[in-house]
Chains A and B, each alone.
Chain A
Amino acid sequence: MSWMIHRIDDRLIHGQVVIAWGERLRPRRIVVADDASAASGWERELLGSAAPGIQVDVVTIEAAALDHAAEAARPEGAFLLVRDLQAALRLVELGARVPVFTLGGLHYAPGKEKVNEYVYLDDADRRIARDLIARGVRLEAQDVPASRAAALEDLDASVRTA
């Protein structure tokens, strides 16, 4: 155990996480690693109440990186959520050993190009994706457990490093 999924999703906690992944994998804990949310008492409370029956910890990326190895050694199972590729890279730079990030929802915004129905990237995102892949982190697109995971390099040739 204990990390079941590391997910990149601009919605952080939402239905696919709580219902689809949560009911399938039944984690004990969800760690939301997001500096803006961690800085807001109200946001911590909102996200904390969003997954009844699961412990939700809303922490800074730095705190999540520090706690990462300890959680990996626990038996019960945990999800980690970040909002974008930048945050994923920062978590890895700060020492979290993440084998795979699942891209679950990076939605359209001006300047972003469609990769699939729920992943849109711009050049800055692609640079970060290449950086993560070069560090040995796999990037896979998968919104819900019932859909097939696809390597980001296969969906978007421009993130290939070699």
Chain B
Amino acid sequence: MSERVPALLIMHADLAAALLRAAEQVYGPITGVTVLSNEGLSRDALETRIQDIVRDWKSGGLVLTDFWGGSCHISGASVARTRGELVIVTGINLPLLLDYLHNRDSFALDELAERLRKKGQDSIRVQRAQPA
């Protein structure tokens, strides 16, 4: 066991809150994950919100965002520059979030981020209909 890795979920519109709610239906009640929307926020305002949240993290944590190049990602990366030990993971999906919940107490930050990247990528599969 290592210290629990905290996570901040930043996404467009209501997606972060909805994704967390969907995760709760599979995982059960969730504590320790903060959600944030970029809606209506300038980059400076979004960065300030992120700073306020990650300030409490003693030894870093994960910033999980929807897509690469969006303001959620850019602002997260910008805050990570001023505060060490933040790792950004983009392209978050439900399987990845569930894997985070199951493993956040078992891995150090960098190993967890790498595990989640792989989990998220492996979770995307194509299945073609097989007519009988």
Contact = CB atoms under 8 A, between A and B. Distances in A.
A14 B69 contact: yes
A63 interface: no
Contact of B43 (A12, A51, A52, A118): A12
A42 B82 CA distance: 11
B45 interface: yes
B13 to A, nearest CB: 11
A145 to B, nearest CB: 17
Given A46-B74, A46-B78, A50-B74, A11 B69 contact: no
Contacts of A107: 40-42, 45
A13 B69 contact: yes
Give chain B's interface secondary structure class: helix
B14 to A, nearest CB: 15
Interface in A78-130: 105, 107-109, 117-118
Interface in A8-67: 10-15, 18-19, 42-43, 46-47, 50-52
Contacts of B71: 11, 14-15
Q: In the complex, which range does the number of interface residues on chain A fall in?
A: 20 to 34
B77 interface: yes
Contacts, number: 52
Nearest to A40: B81
Contacts of B40: 107-108, 117-118
B107 interface: no
Contacts of B78: 43, 46
Interface residues of B, number: 18
Interface string B84-127: 00000000000000000000000000000000000000000000
B68 interface: yes
B70 A18 contact: yes
B12 interface: yes
Contacts of A13: 69, 74
19 contacts: A10-B42, A10-B44, A11-B71, A13-B74, A14-B69, A14-B70, A14-B74, A15-B69, A15-B70, A19-B67, A19-B70, A50-B69, A50-B73, A52-B68, A52-B69, A107-B41, A108-B40, A108-B45, A109-B42
Given A15-B12, A18-B70, A46-B74, 12 more contacts: A10-B43, A11-B42, A14-B69, A14-B71, A15-B67, A15-B69, A19-B67, A19-B70, A50-B74, A105-B42, A107-B40, A109-B42
The 6 A-B residue pairs with the shortest CB-CB distance in the complex, in nearest-first order: A15-B70, A107-B42, A14-B71, A50-B69, A18-B69, A10-B42
